[in-house]
Amino acid sequence: MHILIIEDESRIAQLLQRGLEELGYKTTVAYDGILGKKLVWQQAYDLIIMDIILPKINGIDLCREIKESYPDLPIIMLTALGTTDDKLEGFDAGADDYLVKPFDFRELEARIRVLLKRGSASNSASTAILKAGELEMNLHTRIVKRGNVEINLTPKEFKLLEYMIRNKGRVLPRVEIAEKVWDTTFDTGTNFIDVYINYLRNKIDKAFEEKYIHTKPGMGFIFKTE
């Protein structure tokens, strides 16, 4: 597995590179956003570890650019910032996971394993189309439609909707959504899952009479069609 590290602090980049190579991963390091972007378009990688604050191109903008061309390439964002707004910005850009510095390297290792395993399972999936009611998701082209209306979703909104459709008719607690969609432990002090549920509602339900996403107070959320 080949991991690209985009980190401008040389000490952290070298620690990451050494630790990952000891675990058997092949690594490449870029110290700014421009070089990181160039490397992504020159070489295939299995996962990217990227700082948010980077010279030349910041991590948020770079993540967004990468995900537009390589939506299935897992990206873990590293940052010294840890507020809900910061996390939302990173996830909106398409980040698959988020670690706040300083972090335990064992935690990073665990997150990497989960994302690589998930990517492998996704690539082997036999179906490319998910349908529920009037909704249709093409997992290859990333196009979502409700009836004849095409709906534009961010990468994280797409993953959330995919998980809800795959678990249609079942109440999904916030803890489960955090673990399965964000690969993280739910922080009760933040409301980013509720924020994303509202994003989805506005896009797939607001303009239509039948509502697919429902809240179960004290329990979580459920996706259901008549």
CA distance 188 to 148: 38
Domains of the chain: residue spans and CATH: 2-123 (3.40.50.2300), 129-223 (1.10.10.10)
Give me the DSSP letters along 152-200. ---HHHHHHHHHHHHTTTS-B-HHHHHHHHS-S---TT--HHHHHHHHH
- pLDDT (tens, 9 = 90+) of the chain, 226 residues, equals 899 999 999 999 999 999 999 999 999 999 999 999 999 888 888 999 999 989 999 999 999 989 887 888 999 998 877 666 767 787 888 899 988 888 889 999 999 998 988 765 555 444 478 888 899 998 777 889 999 899 999 888 998 999 999 888 889 998 889 888 876 665 656 688 899 999 999 999 999 999 999 999 989 999 998 7
Strand ranges, E, within the chain: 2-6, 26-30, 47-51, 75-79, 97-100, 129-132, 135-138, 144-146, 149-151, 213-216, 220-223
**Residue 79, both tokens:** 């940052």
Overall pTM > 0.85? no
